[in-house]
Structure 1
Amino acid sequence: MSSSSSSPPPHVVEDCRGVVQLLSDGTIRRSPDPIFPVDSDRDDGSVEWKDVLFDPTHSLFLRLYRPRPSHELSDYDNEKLPVLVYFHGGGFCIGSRTWPNFHAGCLRLAAELGVLVVSADYRLAPEHLLPAAIEDGATALLWLKSQAEAGARADPWLAESADFSVVFVSGDSAGGNIAHHMAVRFGPAGLNPVRIRGFIILMPAFGGVDRTRSELECPADAFLNLEVADRYCRLMLPRGATRDHPLFNPFGPESPIPGPFETGPVLVVAAERDLLRDRHAEYAAKMRELGKPVELVEIQGQEHGFFATKPWSEPAGELVRIIKRFMDEFRSDSA
């Protein structure tokens, strides 16, 4: 057969920030290299960390972060630590607990909040379409429940340091979406003996077919612009699904009317220059209509994912202080 009659070589049909490429023949190329370096290495040894396998079936790991005893954390030296579960962002397509930016953010959370951080990975699209990531988030929380039930037989760090009665669940962007679904699925008491005191949802990845004003007005040079957001959707939604899929637009036209569910306190953090800002305001308003105790905070001057891309910045520090205030308010039974 002549070369002129042979099939053309596969070409790239979707490129996600150079990390994931989908080819015309269905092949997926994934780079192992992280793409969001941090501005400096601030791992000063005040927080220790280690990786733990939590889902052998899918070879999923999480990373535990524990502040070392210090004068700054003297309030926690003789007591167990609150637990903060964290799901990273990346449009359900990229990212890992091991990426330097997510690692740096969790170091900062553990050090400045004085908590034990559980940073859990999940399966990524397009190899694993939604709902894979949501199910993996649930698996991570069920693993935490199993550790609480194991008592002294739990992972030594958790057995020694974790206060399973004071747990908060958080996530950024795609991870914020996962945190929402964990709030609906488990609420404060669905993982007994783990008690979830609140959910901290940072710039959650929500969308819909009908565009919002902040989406339409988003500049093309934004970190997350409409073109990039739509590419994530094409790569991560179930085949044939629209942006109104219930996992992506939880209160949209394709979503069933929610039955009774309890979430406990919810903190929603939006960014002023985020194309998803209107989605976040609408989400908070809808949750309030359903009787949920929701607080919405907007960080001025920031774009989508600023905590993940600039974890050592002052705006990230402002966010950490907001999270601390929320956790301090709801960590006790008297809240």
Structure 2
Amino acid sequence: MPAVSAAACCAAATPASEVVEDLFGFLRVLSDGTILRSPAEPVFCPTTFPTSHPSVQWKEAVYDKAKNLRVRMYKPAVAAAAAGGGSGDASRNKLPVLVHFHGGGFCLGSCTWGNVHAFCLRLAADAGAVVLSAGYRLAPEHRLPAALDDGASFMRWLRDQSANAAEADAWLTEAADFRRVFVTGDSAGGTIAHHLAVRAGSAAAAEPGETTAAADPVTVLGYVLMMPFFGGVRRTSSEAECPAEAFPNLDVVDRFWRLSLPAGATRDHPAANPFGPDSPDLAAAELRPVLVVAGGLDLLRDRTVDYAEQLAAMGKPVELAEFAGKVHGFYLHEPGSEATGELIQAVARFVDGCVAATEAAAAA
């Protein structure tokens, strides 16, 4: 991602001596605790990014009115046409659901940003899936675990959509197969996906045998972590060797953690480090299949690969897809590229594989 200029910063001019944290001018924290946010989209969301797709319909909804949290919903037009046909088994025309959480170090980002929107348009079209791009509360106004709790809240909203036909959004339910749900996330969104997987897996492990899962209107078959935003006190080689001109660089990552973690917490906090001293025991969790995406030029590359390798060593169902020569979040600032297409095809293969395995297990 290109370096971000602070020129289009918060409208309120503030003396430099009062600014204690500054994230590209889009987020400023003053010495008196005041937080200033710019209403502008970042320069890496150019107007040339597509706002529509010939084969994808999209709309917005509010999934949490009290917190004003929104979701952008995308569905391939073929699903809408099939749903409106009025003949045959409607369930056969429904598509898998990809719940997607955006990145931004838990401090920046939105499901409405142009780069996130453009990526989700292509994800829905090329993966042949309903994509639900969910927002969540940002730090430092809402420090972790607020974003993780909002991820869980969105999954409850999704269950309500599936179970309560009278109050559900027909635009969504006519196309979405709630028995084929996958949770995906980019960067900090990938961290949210990890924590949702652990919460679900820990609950499953705590209730061996017959559980309430059979009555759950939503079935999550897998998780996709795209360059997840993990941290730790100990520096990895890819972090220590990251050039200062890269984005994100180590200084930026450290600022994200300072602003998003609970006050006084270190980067070994469970929200940041999945293998920290106080983190849940992943070996004890019954994790669904996980696809982990790494970038060869990402300063988080070593943490991402180590995460996948440690899960594999525990016997967890995990796949690693590494994109050599690619920087952090390349699919967001080049959503139309060949590499982004390869990433989406990897996601589609993962989805198809999980669905086929589930169907085979049910038929056995």
- TM-score normalised by structure 1 residue count: 0.92
* Correspondent of 1:318 among 338, 342, 345: 342
* Structure 1, unpaired ranges of 5+: 1-7
Give the alignment of 1:228-239 within 5 angstroms: 228-239=252-263
Q: In the alignment, is residue 119 of structure 1 matched against residue 133 of structure 2?
A: yes
What is the CA–CA distance in structure 2 between the aligned matches of 1:153 and 1:239, rounded to whole Å? 39
What is the deviation of 1:274? 0.5
* Correspondent of 1:31 among 5, 28, 38: 38
Structure 1 residues 33, 42: CA separation in 2 closer, same or farther (over 3 Å shift)? Answer: closer
Partner of 2:157: 143
Structure 1 residues 295, 44: CA separation in 2 closer, same or farther (over 3 Å shift)? Answer: closer
Q: How many residues align?
A: 327
Is the Cα contact below 8 Å between 1:152 and 1:159 reproduced in 2? no
Q: In the alignment, is residue 61 of structure 1 matched against residue 70 of structure 2?
A: yes
* Correspondent of 1:276 among 265, 283, 300: 300
Q: In the alignment, is residue 40 of structure 1 matched against residue 66 of structure 2?
A: no
What is the CA–CA distance in structure 1 between the aligned matches of 2:180 and 2:91, rounded to whole Å? 16
* Structure 2, unpaired ranges of 5+: 1-14, 84-89, 205-212
Is the Cα contact below 8 Å between 1:54 and 1:143 reproduced in 2? yes
* Correspondent of 1:13 among 20, 33, 49: 20
What is the deviation of 1:264? 1.3
What is the CA–CA distance in structure 2 between the aligned matches of 1:40 and 1:194, rounded to whole Å? 33
What is the CA–CA distance in structure 1 between the aligned matches of 2:148 and 2:104, rounded to whole Å? 14
Structure 1 residues 24, 291: CA separation in 2 closer, same or farther (over 3 Å shift)? Answer: same
- The CA RMSD measured in Å over matched residues stands at 2.4
- TM-score normalised by structure 2 residue count: 0.85
Partner of 2:207: none
Structure 1 residues 256, 196: CA separation in 2 closer, same or farther (over 3 Å shift)? Answer: closer
Q: In the alignment, is residue 218 of structure 1 matched against residue 226 of structure 2?
A: no
Is the Cα contact below 8 Å between 1:145 and 1:191 reproduced in 2? no
Q: Which runs of structure 1 show a deviation greater than 4 angstroms over 4 or more consecutive aligned residues?
A: 187-191
Partner of 1:106: 120
Is the Cα contact below 8 Å between 1:15 and 1:21 reproduced in 2? yes
* Correspondent of 2:266 among 234, 242, 256: 242
- 1:255-311 CA-partner distances (Å, limit 9, x unpaired): 243473222110000000000111011111221233210111101110111112222
* Correspondent of 2:173 among 159, 167, 177: 159
The amino acid across from 2:157 in the alignment is W
What is the CA–CA distance in structure 2 between the aligned matches of 1:33 and 1:133, rounded to whole Å? 22
Partner of 1:169: 183
* Correspondent of 2:218 among 194, 201, 214: 194
Structure 1 residues 77, 197: CA separation in 2 closer, same or farther (over 3 Å shift)? Answer: closer
Q: Bigger CA drift: 50-59 or 127-136?
A: 50-59
What is the CA–CA distance in structure 2 between the aligned matches of 1:107 and 1:217, rounded to whole Å? 35
- 1:224-264 CA-partner distances (Å, limit 9, x unpaired): 11011011011111000000001100112232434732221
Q: Bigger CA drift: 77-86 or 58-67?
A: 77-86
User: Tell me, what secondary structure is at the counterpart of 2:352?
Assistant: helix
What is the CA–CA distance in structure 2 between the aligned matches of 1:229 and 1:201, rounded to whole Å? 18
Partner of 1:52: 61
Partner of 2:232: 208
Partner of 1:291: 315
Is the Cα contact below 8 Å between 1:66 and 1:117 reproduced in 2? yes
What is the CA–CA distance in structure 1 between the aligned matches of 2:56 and 2:91, rounded to whole Å? 13
What is the CA–CA distance in structure 2 between the aligned matches of 1:192 and 1:285, rounded to whole Å? 31
